[in-house]
Structure 1
Amino acid sequence: MERLPIFVINGFLEAGKTQFMKFTMQQEYFQTDGNTLLIVCEEGEEEYDKDLLESTHTTLKYIDDISDFTKEKMIEFTKEVNPERILIEWNGLWEQDKIQIPDIWYVNQMITIYDTSILDLYIKNKDLKAYMGKMLKDSELVICNRADDIDEEILSTYHLQIKAMAPNAEIIFEGEEGEITGDFSINLPYDLEASKLIIKPEEYGIFYVDAMDRTEKYDGKEVEFVAQVVRPDGIGDDILIPGRRAMTCCEADIQFLGFVCHYKGAKNFKNKDWVKVKGKIKYEMSPQYRAKGPVIYANDILLTGPIDGLVQF
């Protein structure tokens, strides 16, 4: 049997998930002759119209408790509906790793939706931010709606917080009239036009996120920063990964944020060594990133003292 694609829509209650799904289901590009299985894991004020479901060959199923979201139940739905695809409106307070799907399903796309007018509440509440981290981990697209009348500088702050948790996602701010355009790139604490970027310890998190997000802006730049060494087995004699441990959303989600770095003599450094890296950034394909990214060609790496604490956002 051919595997079935799943589209997962994340977000807290009343974030606009149902509204987004209804809009998408009506678009020409999303039409299909086959059946669609729509699984809704929480009921908000917005409801699905019977006419819309019928016209799009969609069967709606509700799951009220995460304990009912089992492989057996999903197989039962599959046999009943015979879908060509599955849409899941996920409960934002259910942990992502609790999603159990049959082997014949696969996650095709994950989208997260937030109400920007109360996004500050989610970010400042450590418990809600932990849920945000789980939603964003594998998201390809993040839509922040209801962003009208919010200052561009505040939107830039939200952009940084989300980008730290979802580095590979596209982030869109929307208002009543559609997408809000503007420069929501991070407000940098250093001068990107300087001949050499000397990154202070407290600036490392912003430097990492922005360099990964807008690598072309850093291509050819001289840089200097302090980081800790990681040298995975088999990485090669002249490569190391200098980086810092960061808490992107909560204590349970501590990640190592490191750059691929080429340096003759890299093999002489050990894991967990603290070093000062001086070199030039090049935007190029890297096997370690499995994509194009910021690769540092160091001209000098010196042992130095440790930096206390984690990178914060």
Structure 2
Amino acid sequence: KTAGIFIESMDELTPERLLELELLYNPERVLIEWNGMWNQDDLQLPDDWRLYQQITIIDMSTFDLYVANMKPLLYAMIKNSELVICNRCDGIEDLSGYRRTLKSMCQRGEIVFEDSEGEIDEIADEDLPYDMSADVIAISPEAYGIWYIDCMDRRDRYEGKIVEFTAMVLKSPEFPKNYFVPGRMAMTCCEADMTFLGFVTKAREAKDLQTKQWVKVRARIAYEFWKDYEGEGPVLYAESVQPAEPIRDVVQF
């Protein structure tokens, strides 16, 4: 047995109101279909409710308008999603830019594009702004965001490859010996939402590095369990780490 309850205003969606509904219907589970014009950060659940899964469905025919005018609302909706389904992609030729925009906001979620014929595999090796067949894949400063997002998603494409890029050092006492994170600051939503994007790296030079130092890293990409990834993800094994000039621009998607 199911019950559908319509909430007309965000002011009505309070923990007290949700508890009243729980007592009234004694539900086994609650499914909330969210109003896209409400800020999901404002949602407050009763203390004993647990969010089990979040799925976001996006109409790509209106996506550009939404990003241009309501990006903070979009960010609030997708940042914790496990799955983002982007439908109505018919006629959109280049989806890789949309993937980077969404993945920068929802790094651990799966992004799926669909048109009227089904799921789309939206990016091929030849579309990337670096040479995947090179012995050392040179990642330019402009391509860093593309590489970061694609590397997270495509283990089959990057495992065992050697890359070279320039990044800023992040170190922490919590890291094991000889580990650091080279990365770049990225704008995921607006200037108030800046994120450091980098992959954990093992290097013999790590002990001599300082946080905020800029380096050029040449490393082999592996995929291993790392607690901060909450599972397996890219782990870099450095062949060389050398001082480099800072990159002033932030990564944008």
Give the alignment of 1:107-126 within 5 angstroms: 107-123=51-67, 125=68
Three-state SS of the structure 1 residue aligned to 2:120 is coil
Three-state SS of the structure 1 residue aligned to 2:172 is coil
TM-score norm. by structure 1 comes to 0.76
114 and 280 in structure 1: CA distance in 2 versus 1, 3 angstrom threshold: same
Out of 174, 184, 193, the residue aligned to residue 253 of structure 1 is 193
CA-CA distance at 1:168 after TM superposition:
2.2
297 and 176 in structure 1: CA distance in 2 versus 1, 3 angstrom threshold: closer
Q: CA contact under 8 A between 2:205 and 2:241: conserved in structure 1?
A: no
CA-CA distance at 1:291 after TM superposition:
1.7
Answering whether residue 228 of structure 2 is matched by residue 263 of structure 1, we say no
Q: Identity, % of aligned pairs?
A: 46
Partner of 1:172: 112
| Alpha-carbon distance between aligned partners in 1 of 2:120 and 2:79, rounded to the nearest angstrom | 25
Q: CA contact under 8 A between 2:112 and 2:120: conserved in structure 1?
A: no
RMSD: 1.7
Query: Which amino acid in the other structure matches residue 153 of structure 2?
Result: D
CA-CA distance at 1:143 after TM superposition:
1.6
Three-state SS of the structure 1 residue aligned to 2:229 is coil
> Cα deviations across residues 238-259 of structure 1 (Å, max 9, x unaligned)?
0000000101222222111011
Partner of 1:136: 78
| Alpha-carbon distance between aligned partners in 1 of 2:38 and 2:188, rounded to the nearest angstrom | 19
CA-CA distance at 1:176 after TM superposition:
4.3
Out of 54, 78, 93, the residue aligned to residue 152 of structure 1 is 93
Answering whether residue 213 of structure 2 is matched by residue 273 of structure 1, we say yes
Partner of 1:82: 26
* Unmatched segments (≥5 aa) in structure 2: none
Out of 304, 310, 313, the residue aligned to residue 244 of structure 2 is 304
Partner of 1:10: none
Query: Which amino acid in the other structure matches residue 305 of structure 1?
Result: E
Q: CA contact under 8 A between 1:246 and 1:312: conserved in structure 2?
A: yes
After alignment, is 139-148 or 271-280 more displaced?
139-148
Answering whether residue 29 of structure 2 is matched by residue 91 of structure 1, we say no
Three-state SS of the structure 1 residue aligned to 2:53 is strand
| Alpha-carbon distance between aligned partners in 2 of 1:236 and 1:245, rounded to the nearest angstrom | 23
| Alpha-carbon distance between aligned partners in 1 of 2:103 and 2:181, rounded to the nearest angstrom | 21
Query: Which amino acid in the other structure matches residue 160 of structure 2?
Result: G
Q: How many residues align?
A: 251
Answering whether residue 46 of structure 2 is matched by residue 106 of structure 1, we say no
> Cα deviations across residues 188-246 of structure 1 (Å, max 9, x unaligned)?
11111211111111110001000111123111111111101111222122000000010
Three-state SS of the structure 2 residue aligned to 1:88 is coil
